Amino acid sequence: MKRRTFLILAGVAGGGLLIGCANPDRVRARADLRPAPGGQIAMNGWIKLAPDGSVTVVMSKSEMGQGVHTGLLMLVAEELDCAWSSLRMEDAPIEAFYGNLVAFAENVPFREDEHGAVANGMRWMMARLGRELGFMMTGASSSLRDLWLPMRHAAAAARASLVAAVAGHWQCAPAEVQLQDGRFSVADGRAMDFAAAVSHLGAQPAPLGEVTLKSPAEFRLIGQPVPRLEAAAKVAGSARFGIDVRPPGLCYAALRFAPVRGGRVKTFDASKASRLPGVLGVVKCEPEHGGTGAVAVVASGWWRARQALAALEITWDDGPLAGRSTTDLMQTLTEALAEDEGHAFWQVGDADAVLAGSTRQVAADYRAPWLAHTPMEPMNCTVEYRGEAATVWAPTQVPGFARRAAARVLDLAEDKVALEVTYLGGGFGRRLEVDFVAQAATIARAFPGRPVQTLWSREDDVQHDFYRPACVAQCRAALAEDGRIAAWQLKSAGQSIAPGYGPRTAGIPLLGPDKTTAEGAFDVAYAFPAVSVRHAAVELPLPVGFWRAVGHSHQAFFTECFLDECAQAAGADPLAYRLQLLAAEPAQRAVLQLVADKAGWGTPLTPAADGARVARGLALHRCFGSTVAQVAEVSLGEGGLIRVHRVVCAIDCGLAVNPNLIAQQMESAVVYGLSAALHGQIDFDTGRVAQGNFHDYPALRLGECPQIETHIVPSAAPPGGVGEPGLPPIAPAVANALFALTGQRRRSLPLQIPA
């Protein structure tokens, strides 16, 4: 691995770097980005007003269950003071203007508190590149953080324009005009609704100078548990996911993938399959954008297409993963751990020397497996290719990359491809990839004039994923006389995500240490007198991708479990031990204290219904701008069955924009994290993924789901992320509870107790 090399981006697909437009806030106020038909007035890039008084918000983020549409509309309604019911949404166009700045700028391999020239230079470069490249992306728990200011600025500016127009009409000072819930008024009793105010605006509202945002004390909507916009449609079955797109004349494609991930089709004979009833054609698909090669059957219905797959005669090229199995792949990781010194992500003092001189050492090795994402809606994409142009309907987290992939396959300019983002039936990082979009475009290209929906089976989804990388870790600590940690050492080995993702999806090389490999280990809040956190990057012919909470998902398990081991070795209470390591971090302490209070840390627990003993485990983790602590209450059932009864969560996510959605995301992250912690494991057996569906790659079921409570630390700081931060602490909290219960450490995921 190259040491001291840094993330370098170059040769951007689509033509070099667009230098200029340095001020993001000015860039973000552009009104020319949206067509404004039917008398609409585009106030800026985010908001359009219509003569009927409705407010259209230009939506650049994908709704995949996290409630982002509701959250972002709250920001607009708050600053614009329009009626909630007057809000509408339309898809943002694919423009750099709507690029995700936060997720981009954050992607540097340095601790937040590292402010050397290299770290600061990198941050500056990433922020600038983020603005100039403008990648549209929903993920990295970044949406609200990314748009917290731009959306509010846009709404506040629109409000100021309206108020000025109304004041002009009434011939009073703007300061005299009141606006609440879409109704303008002045003290003498004159009043006007939104539609009337819009009519006074004129087609070209004068650009405004500085606008003033509301202070938190003035918020009426932000901070309220506003219900989701789309709740009723989702319950009625009318919400439209990618799989529900039904353009006229639609036909359906099913796939037979190469049996080995990353393999390709050598030869195929479609003569038998083509003769089956309802079959319209057979198309060969190369492994595009990191995917696996396949043969598609297109038919009048998906079932017919799928049934016809068996009649295909195919020979395969298994590709570079041929013959590899979990045991030897893991062996490669453990060898790297032993032999490769890795990249130092966090170094304080000389941890090696302190350890060498210590008589009180704690040592443990941990591991985590590959994982699949399995969002509830299997991969799908619908494409209509019309020769000169195309329409793509995609449940995607990256509309720009998805459109680019489709345009490339269809040999069209990007602006000839219209892309509509549907609702996503879960994303979890799987829909940051565009393999399935390119594949759907390949298939549709063979049927010009006819829309084709390509749909994967669950088996296709489990076996052709971009997996959460497996990781092995070696943890060492030296304890001082008083039991405190004198040196902390964590070294891990596993695959990197960025070097594969950059070229295959974004069309750019991402070089240098991949922050996501060691995040959750090198950016913890604890203070240690001497630290060494290193990661050895391993290359394997196995595609890995971003899985909810990414590196934090396993590094938090290693860190928080090993810390518990240190507390135990020191004879200290796990809560007190952590608090003592956070002496300089009052905000972190507050989260721990809140969870401890709400969970009744240290108080006796009543046994489970069957009389089994229940024990608690604790974990704390910070990521994506937020900190979450969890206490899990766990018992063992028959045959060593791990039962999690209750999980208490405390979160500091800055200002809580919508406590309802925050609680929902805590519940979601705990369940997703528990699915992995108790059941999740992808194995390779001579190149093939051994699991295939929910019977052998199980997800948590309702009967296994604990009671989950969420407590929010009050804060006026800008909002942090909430989609992922609830996930990392759950595995270590449960593992630590298992230790409290059994006296034995479980250092490998998924957690298992032998019967």
Q: Interface residues with ligand FES (CB under 6 A)?
A: 65, 376, 426
CB 455, min distance to ligand FES, A: 12
> Residue 597 forms beta bridges with which residues?
none
CB 67, min distance to ligand FES, A: 11
Q: Choose between 234 and 484: whose C-beta lies nearer to another protein.
A: 234
Residue 546's SS3 state is: coil
Instruction: Decide if residue 275 touches another protein (CB under 8 A).
Output: no
Could you tell me which stretch among 145-153, 337-345, 531-539, 695-703 binds another protein (CB under 8 A)? 695-703
**Residue 380: enclosing H or E segment and its boundaries?**
strand 380-385
> Residue 370 forms beta bridges with which residues?
682
Q: Choose between 305 and 472: whose C-beta lies nearer to another protein.
A: 305
Our measurement of the distance from residue 199's CA atom to the centroid of its chain's CA atoms, rounded to an integer in Å, reads 41
CB 251, min distance to another protein, A: 9
**Residue 337: enclosing H or E segment and its boundaries?**
helix 326-339
Q: Choose between 15 and 237: whose C-beta lies nearer to another protein.
A: 237
Cβ atoms of 186 and 172 closer than 8 Å: yes
All residues at 6 or more sequence positions from 511 whose CB lies less than 8 Å from its CB, including other chains:
2, 5, 6, 7, 8, 499
Q: Choose between 287 and 425: whose C-beta lies nearer to ligand FES.
A: 425
CA distance linking residue 701 with residue 681, whole number of Å: 16
Q: Choose between 311 and 348: whose C-beta lies nearer to another protein.
A: 311
Backbone angles phi, psi at 218, to 5 degrees: -90, -5
All residues at 6 or more sequence positions from 457 whose CB lies less than 8 Å from its CB, including other chains:
254, 255, 306, 378
CA distance linking residue 204 with residue 43, whole number of Å: 9
Instruction: Decide if residue 325 touches another protein (CB under 8 A).
Output: no
CB 572, min distance to another protein, A: 33
Cβ atoms of 589 and 652 closer than 8 Å: no
Among 196, 480, 612, 705, binds another protein (CB under 8 A): 705
CB 276, min distance to another protein, A: 10
For residue 275, the partner it binds in ligand FES, another protein, none, with Cβ less than 5 to 8 A by kind, is none
Instruction: Decide if residue 399 touches another protein (CB under 8 A).
Output: no
CA distance linking residue 77 with residue 95, whole number of Å: 24
Q: Choose between 17 and 376: whose C-beta lies nearer to ligand FES.
A: 376
Backbone angles phi, psi at 45, to 5 degrees: -70, -5
Binding mask 641-680 for another protein (x = CB under 8 A): -------------------x---x--xxxxxx--x-----
Instruction: Decide if residue 693 touches another protein (CB under 8 A).
Output: yes
CB 550, min distance to ligand FES, A: 20
- Angle, helices 552-570 vs 659-679, to 10°: value is 80
Q: Is the bond preceding 750 in cis, omega lying within 30 degrees of 0?
A: yes
For residue 111, the partner it binds in ligand FES, another protein, none, with Cβ less than 5 to 8 A by kind, is none
Cβ atoms of 414 and 403 closer than 8 Å: yes
Q: Choose between 203 and 702: whose C-beta lies nearer to another protein.
A: 702
Q: Choose between 457 and 635: whose C-beta lies nearer to ligand FES.
A: 457
Instruction: Decide if residue 304 touches another protein (CB under 8 A).
Output: yes
Name the residue among 444, 397, 442, 390 with its Cα closest to residue 419.
390
Q: Choose between 290 and 426: whose C-beta lies nearer to ligand FES.
A: 426
Cβ atoms of 490 and 533 closer than 8 Å: yes
Among 69, 131, 159, 228, binds another protein (CB under 8 A): 228
Instruction: Decide if residue 236 touches another protein (CB under 8 A).
Output: yes
Q: Is 451 exposed, middle or buried (0-12, 13-18, 19+ CB in 10 A)?
A: buried
Residue 172's SS3 state is: coil
Instruction: Decide if residue 26 touches another protein (CB under 8 A).
Output: no
For residue 668, the partner it binds in ligand FES, another protein, none, with Cβ less than 5 to 8 A by kind, is another protein
CB 231, min distance to another protein, A: 5
CA distance linking residue 592 with residue 257, whole number of Å: 48
**750: DSSP letter:** S
Cβ atoms of 158 and 82 closer than 8 Å: no
CB 590, min distance to ligand FES, A: 31
For residue 700, the partner it binds in another protein, ligand FES, none, with Cβ less than 5 to 8 A by kind, is another protein
- Kindly state the number of chain residues that form the binding site for another protein, as judged by CB under 8 A: 66
Q: Choose between 426 and 513: whose C-beta lies nearer to ligand FES.
A: 426
Amino acid at 403: R
Could you tell me which stretch among 103-111, 114-122, 201-209, 368-376 binds another protein (CB under 8 A)? 368-376
Q: Choose between 178 and 300: whose C-beta lies nearer to another protein.
A: 300
CA distance linking residue 305 with residue 298, whole number of Å: 6
For residue 246, the partner it binds in another protein, ligand FES, none, with Cβ less than 5 to 8 A by kind, is another protein
CB burial string 329-365: b at 16+ within 10 A, e below? bbebbeebbeebebbbbbeeeebeebbeebeeebebe
CB 300, min distance to another protein, A: 8
Among 17, 18, 232, 584, binds another protein (CB under 8 A): 232
Binding mask 455-484 for another protein (x = CB under 8 A): x-xx--------------------------
CB 64, min distance to ligand FES, A: 9
Instruction: Decide if residue 237 touches another protein (CB under 8 A).
Output: yes
CB burial string 513-543: b at 16+ within 10 A, e below? bbbbbbbbbbbbbbebebbbbbbbbbebebb
Pick out residues in 709-728 that bind another protein (CB under 8 A): none
CA distance linking residue 299 with residue 270, whole number of Å: 13
For residue 736, the partner it binds in another protein, ligand FES, none, with Cβ less than 5 to 8 A by kind, is none
Residue 545's SS3 state is: coil
Residue 142's SS3 state is: coil
CB 375, min distance to ligand FES, A: 8
CA distance linking residue 651 with residue 620, whole number of Å: 10
Pick out residues in 44-73 that bind another protein (CB under 8 A): 63-67
CA distance linking residue 669 with residue 664, whole number of Å: 9
Backbone angles phi, psi at 634, to 5 degrees: -130, 145
Q: Choose between 147 and 661: whose C-beta lies nearer to another protein.
A: 661
CB 303, min distance to ligand FES, A: 12
Q: Choose between 380 and 495: whose C-beta lies nearer to ligand FES.
A: 380
Residue nearest to ligand FES (CB): 376
Cβ atoms of 463 and 262 closer than 8 Å: no
CB 63, min distance to another protein, A: 8
CA distance linking residue 666 with residue 668, whole number of Å: 5
CB 376, min distance to ligand FES, A: 4
For residue 753, the partner it binds in ligand FES, another protein, none, with Cβ less than 5 to 8 A by kind, is none
Residue 77's SS3 state is: helix
Among 71, 425, 725, 729, binds another protein (CB under 8 A): 425
Cβ atoms of 530 and 488 closer than 8 Å: yes
CB 727, min distance to ligand FES, A: 15
CB 227, min distance to ligand FES, A: 15
Site residues for another protein per CB under 8 A? 63-67, 227-228, 230-241, 243-244, 246, 252, 277-278, 300-304, 307, 374-378, 423-428, 455, 457-458, 660, 664, 667-672, 675, 693-695, 699-705, 707-708
